[in-house]
Structure 1
Amino acid sequence: MPRAPRPTLAALCFAFLTCGLPALAADATPAKQDAADNSQEMPAVTRAPLQERSQVEAAGLERQLPENEQQQLQAGDETFLALWRPANVGEPEGLVILLPGDGENADWPLAVGPLRRKLPDAGWSTLSLSLPDPKGDEPPPRPEKPSKIDRSEPVVSAEKAAEDGPSTTEQAGSAEPNTDPAPPALSTEGIRKAHSTRVSARIQAALTFARQSKPTTIVFLGHGTGAYWAAQYLAVEEPTDIRNLLLVDAQQPAGYDPILDKLLPELKLATGDFYYREAPADRSAAQERLQASKRQKHPAYIQVAMNGLPGDRATEQEQLVRRIRGWLSLQLQAGAPPGR
């Protein structure tokens, strides 16, 4: 009796694959759906802006320097770091307030740091300030980083969603948009005015602290753009107990008025203008300040040209300290009794 034909191996494999494809397709559908759902993102959330560079550097100085040198001063609603060193003598000559320039800190290795550490040995107390970053140089806000939607909730089919009505997210999205006006952006002039106000507030806070020790003389010393801010404060506030101003490598901050050429002669203070002769731009600016002082018949303006030593900063800074000490010994004018 003839046997029934057996299915070939190829036919069996084809039948198996045909039966298994619907199941595989069904298993793949949820995986694709989950992948699509997870690719959806929540609305972006804006993170708080980074700290100003000056705040970061001040925090670094707080970690590095002795606590007895640190003073937290209050200027309006801001607290800032100042570095204080009393004179290493029984009867101090007076007090020097140091103002660093843009991009510098209260212990900057050029001028500011060496002077604040070495003038106390010459009988002068020093108070070195941290000034705010100029507007426009602040770091940008942190980039927006969206977060994934929480998918712990069970996935609801389209048919079920239609029966249940609008979801919570859709209801929230259908709410009326926020119509509160955004705060107006400051103009360029407004930004500069706000920065000038912050700087002046810090200088005023430093003066308040300095006057507590009742020094016989208070001297302002500005480095870089700090020289401009020292002169600008003295011109606006006219404190009667400040009779001496020292400028080291003075720089004019871009966009601010009046310029130093017009500002310095009108102060009529004992002024020491120390500059480095190597850079043509610095020589030219120093020449203009000197000519302006002559036109205004400034009674006590002295300009001192120095040689920079880029390959030997230690010697360069030692020479600067000696020049400043010499000016304080020979050109200093006694101030009015403190107390204003």
Structure 2
Amino acid sequence: MKRRLLGLCLFLGVCGSAAASNQQRELDYAASLRQIADMGHAVWLNAGGQRFLALFTEAEKTDNSQAVIILHDMGEHPDQQPVAHGLRTVLPRHNWTTLSIQLPLREIGAGRQDYYGLFDEAQGRIQAAVAYLRAQGAKDIAVVGYGVGAAMAAYALSRDPGGLAAFAAISLPLPESTLPQVQIGEFIKNIALPFLDIYAEFDLPEVVDTARRRRMLGKDNPVYRQIRINGENHAYRHDPMMLIKRIYSWLALSLGPN
């Protein structure tokens, strides 16, 4: 009997830790990101009683009325090269204030499935980011997510789309899972915002192989658009400016200039 109880306790302990974010990794990233010398400055936000880092960069020529929340890929940080860094530093030159936030992390080596339990925590951080941008004067707020960050954004929009005006998903996967947090196909069908689904020609299989399915799921949304970036893979290192240009051009068409 004692052995069975011990086994149950161990099982519950493992299950509980599976949904816990790795705060030490976040602090390690924060320590290095506070030393960044280029555009923007670090701010600390709070969600669910936990502080997390974000990089805030104001638009160069206008006020902060149009803003973008940037969500990095799995296991990364708000200045992830080249995608998150490029977006957060280039979009302000095109009149978009940016807030690139630290998403919850798992331990080094964790896989995509290990991140599914963090989606609720990510939703809280997105809501905190919206509140921060509102306090800075933002009226139109878009969210741009990359990889797992895009999946987290889709989940957050499925739960509470309030406060967000557009969604750009970079390399959005459709995971094979029964977990409610990652029913991305169902989320796509219900997103009524301007929606850009952008991916690379040589992206991950769960992105490339599901591109047509995502397009069919979004067909009832008149402001859904899908774009493939030729010659790139999931990292977008060959010509990251092409990706960034596609996004700021789409933002201008979808939400208009200030």
TM-score, scaled to structure 1 = 0.61
Structure 1 equivalent of residue 5 of structure 2: none
1:277 aligns with 2:173: no
Structure 2 residue matching 1:52: 3-state secondary structure: helix
Structure 2 equivalent of residue 70 of structure 1: 42
Structure 2 equivalent of residue 97 of structure 1: 69
Contact 1:228/1:253 (CA < 8 Å) preserved in 2?
Answer: no
Contact 2:195/2:225 (CA < 8 Å) preserved in 1?
Answer: yes
Structure 1 equivalent of residue 96 of structure 2: 124
State percent identity of aligned pairs: 27
Residue 323 of structure 1, CA deviation: 0.7
Structure 2 equivalent of residue 229 of structure 1: 152
Structure 2 residue matching 1:307: 3-state secondary structure: strand
1:320 aligns with 2:247: no
CA distance in 2, matches of 1:67, 1:313: 21
Structure 1 residue matching 2:221: 3-state secondary structure: coil
Structure 2 equivalent of residue 110 of structure 1: 82
1:31-110 matches, cutoff 5 A: 52-65=24-37, 69-92=41-64, 94-110=66-82
Residue 57 of structure 1, CA deviation: 1.6
CA distance in 2, matches of 1:51, 1:238: 27
Structure 2 residue matching 1:113: 3-state secondary structure: helix
Structure 1 unaligned blocks of 5 or more: 1-49, 141-187, 335-340
Structure 2 residue matching 1:273: 3-state secondary structure: strand
> Structure 1 residues 125 and 70 mapped into 2: Cα distance closer, same or farther (>3 Å)?
same
Residue 279 of structure 1, CA deviation: 3.8
CA distance in 2, matches of 1:203, 1:280: 25
> Structure 1 residues 192 and 226 mapped into 2: Cα distance closer, same or farther (>3 Å)?
closer
Q: Please point out which of 214, 218, 222 is paired with 2:137.
A: 214
The alignment of Structure 1 onto Structure 2 pairs a total of residues equal to 230
Structure 2 equivalent of residue 199 of structure 1: 122
Matched to 2:164, the amino acid is: I
CA distance in 1, matches of 2:23, 2:189: 38
Structure 1 equivalent of residue 164 of structure 2: 242
Residue 252 of structure 1, CA deviation: 4.6
Looking at secondary structure, tell me which structure has more strand per residue: 2
Matched to 1:86, the amino acid is: E
Contact 1:52/1:138 (CA < 8 Å) preserved in 2?
Answer: no
Contact 1:51/1:139 (CA < 8 Å) preserved in 2?
Answer: no
TM-score, scaled to structure 2 = 0.79
Matched to 2:172, the amino acid is: A
> Structure 1 residues 250 and 68 mapped into 2: Cα distance closer, same or farther (>3 Å)?
closer
Structure 2 residue matching 1:222: 3-state secondary structure: strand
CA distance in 2, matches of 1:122, 1:106: 20
Residue 103 of structure 1, CA deviation: 1.4
Structure 1 equivalent of residue 221 of structure 2: 298
Structure 1 equivalent of residue 183 of structure 2: 259
Residue 306 of structure 1, CA deviation: 0.2
Structure 2 residue matching 1:107: 3-state secondary structure: coil
Residue 289 of structure 1, CA deviation: 0.4
Contact 2:174/2:210 (CA < 8 Å) preserved in 1?
Answer: no
Query: Greater shift after overlay, 249-258 or 120-129?
Result: 249-258
Residue 68 of structure 1, CA deviation: 5.9
Structure 2 equivalent of residue 19 of structure 1: none
> Structure 1 residues 278 and 68 mapped into 2: Cα distance closer, same or farther (>3 Å)?
closer
Contact 2:148/2:172 (CA < 8 Å) preserved in 1?
Answer: yes
Structure 2 residue matching 1:269: 3-state secondary structure: coil
Which digits, 9 at most, give the CA deviation of each residue in 1:140-180, with x for residues without a partner?
Answer: 9xxxxxxxxxxxxxxxxxxxxxxxxxxxxxxxxxxxxxxxx
Residue 117 of structure 1, CA deviation: 0.3
